[in-house]
Amino acid sequence: MSVPDSEGAAPRKALVTPPEAAGQRLDQWLAAALEGELSRSRIQALIRGGHVTVSGRPAHEPKRKLAGGETVAVTVPEAEPAEPQGEAIPLDILYEDSHLIVIDKPAGLVVHPGAGNWTGTLVNALIAHCGDTLSGIGGVKRPGIVHRLDKETSGVMVVAKTDQAHRALADAFADHGASGSLERAYSALVWGAPERMNATIDAALGRSTRDRTRRAVVNAGREDARHAVTRYSVSEMFGGASPEGALAALVDCRLETGRTHQIRVHMAHIGHPLIGDPEYGLAFRTKANRLAEPARSIAAAFPRQALHARLLAFEHPATGETMRFETALPADMAGLVRALRDLPRS
**What is the CATH classification number for the domain harbouring 245?**
3.30.2350.10
Question: Is 81 among the domain residues?
Answer: no
pLDDT of 8 reads 40
CATH number at residue 47: 3.10.290.10
Task: State how far the Cα of 6 lies from the Cα of 77, in Å rounded to an integer.
Answer: 12
Domain closes at, from 43, 75, 107: 75
Co-location of 187 and 223 in the same domain? yes
**Owning domain of residue 15:** 2-75
Please give the full DSSP string across 3-32, using - where no structure is assigned. Answer: E--STTSPPEEEEE--GGGTT-BHHHHHHH
Angle at 154 between CA 245 and CA 166, to 5 degrees: 135
Co-location of 141 and 242 in the same domain? no
Co-location of 335 and 196 in the same domain? yes
Tell me the CA distances in angstroms from 254 to 37, 64, 217, 221, 283, one per residue in order. Answer: 31, 45, 18, 25, 25
Co-location of 115 and 19 in the same domain? no
Sheet holding 71-75, edge to edge: 2-3, 12-16, 71-75, 52-54, 57-58
Task: Count the domains in the chain.
Answer: 3
pLDDT of 2 reads 40
Task: State how far the Cα of 248 lies from the Cα of 210, in Å rounded to an integer.
Answer: 28
Domain closes at, from 174, 192, 210: 174
Co-location of 204 and 310 in the same domain? yes
Question: Is 327 among the domain residues?
Answer: yes
Co-location of 30 and 146 in the same domain? no
Q: Give the residue from 82, 83, 48, 80 showing the smallest Cα distance to 62.
A: 48
Q: What pTM value is reported for the model?
A: 0.76
pLDDT of 178 reads 64
- How confident is the model over 162-215, as pLDDT tens digits? 888 988 998 898 877 666 789 999 999 999 999 999 999 999 999 998 887 899
Q: Name the stretches of the chain with pLDDT < 50.
A: 1-9
Co-location of 203 and 286 in the same domain? yes
Co-location of 124 and 262 in the same domain? no
Co-location of 28 and 161 in the same domain? no
Question: Is 190 among the domain residues?
Answer: yes
pLDDT of 103 reads 97
Co-location of 61 and 140 in the same domain? no
Co-location of 316 and 226 in the same domain? yes
- Name the active-site residue from 27, 104, 150, 332: 150
Q: Do 275 and 190 contact (CB within 8 A), yes or no?
A: yes
Reply yes or no on whether 150 is catalytic: yes
Domain closes at, from 145, 174, 203: 174
- How confident is the model over 1-38, as pLDDT tens digits? 443 343 344 556 788 999 998 999 999 898 888 876 77
The type of residue at 37 is E
Task: State how far the Cα of 68 lies from the Cα of 17, in Å rounded to an integer.
Answer: 5
Question: Is 308 among the domain residues?
Answer: yes
Co-location of 233 and 318 in the same domain? yes
pLDDT of 326 reads 97
